[in-house]
Amino acid sequence: MLSGISAARQTGVGRDIDVSLFDCALQNLNYIATWYLNEGHRQGREPRSGHPSLTPSQLHRTRDGYIFVMCNKEKFWPVLCDMIGRPDLAAHPDFRTFKDRLANRQKLTALLDAALSERTTAEWLSHFAGRVPAAPVNDVAAALDNPFVRQGGRIWNVTHPARPDFKMVAAPFACAGDELPRRPAPALGEDTDPVLSKCGFSPERIKTLRQLGVI
């Protein structure tokens, strides 16, 4: 929209901007779509939400659940090996490069599961922090109770007729200097009378409609 406005100011000619939710989702296929369109490659689902070509980049077992480890650059692989106490894996001929690790993904998954199962997800996240890309697998409660969410103002408290401390997820955008509206949806029929009044209905007519069960 901003591009259209900018162009209109420069040229004096406006334009339509067509943005489709489906088209945005389709664009997210990214290189998977390019593989199919140009080479006919039909990418299937990988176990553990694994990346189709990068390894390790998937879920791995920990002592109390799962952790997503993503070595999306070669530099992270030897660091990961050192931090899990398996520096020998970094130079192993089966795992030296992305291509090697992809060819031996199942074997590598078993080795990493064994190493990562020695600690909890939280312990590994603290251990990896800033050195190996990793993330927890949260349920809804863990996601919403996350300090990053709570301390960042991403949960709003809203005054609601049903309860004074009604909570909801904040809007996903912020406008500096402007306070976004924080009001609940109107109750059923809350605005009926004002709307009908604006449409020319008298208080007596509105009362009659209500008595007849029309509104």
Q: Which long-range contacts (CB under 8 A, 24 or more apart) does 169-177 make?
A: 169/144
Nearest by Cα to 153 from 129, 180, 116: 180
Nearest by Cα to 43 from 24, 58, 55, 30: 30
Rounding to the nearest 10 degrees, give the CA dihedral for residues 45, 47, 49, 52. Answer: -60
SS3 category, 70: strand
Backbone angles phi, psi at 163, to 5 degrees: -165, 140
Q: Distance between CA atoms of 83 and 127, rounded to whole angstroms?
A: 8
Domains, the chain, ranges and CATH?
Answer: 2-39 (no CATH), 47-137 (3.30.1540.10), 139-184 (no CATH)
Both tokens of 124, joined, read 């590994």
**pLDDT tens digits for the chain (215 residues)?**
888 899 999 999 998 888 899 999 999 999 999 999 999 999 999 999 999 999 999 999 999 999 999 999 999 999 999 999 999 999 999 999 999 999 999 999 999 999 999 999 999 999 999 999 999 999 999 999 999 999 998 999 988 887 888 899 998 888 888 888 888 788 888 899 999 999 999 999 999 999 999 99
- Cα separation values, 189 from 27, 201, 206, 210, Å: 41, 16, 12, 11
This prediction has a pTM of 0.73
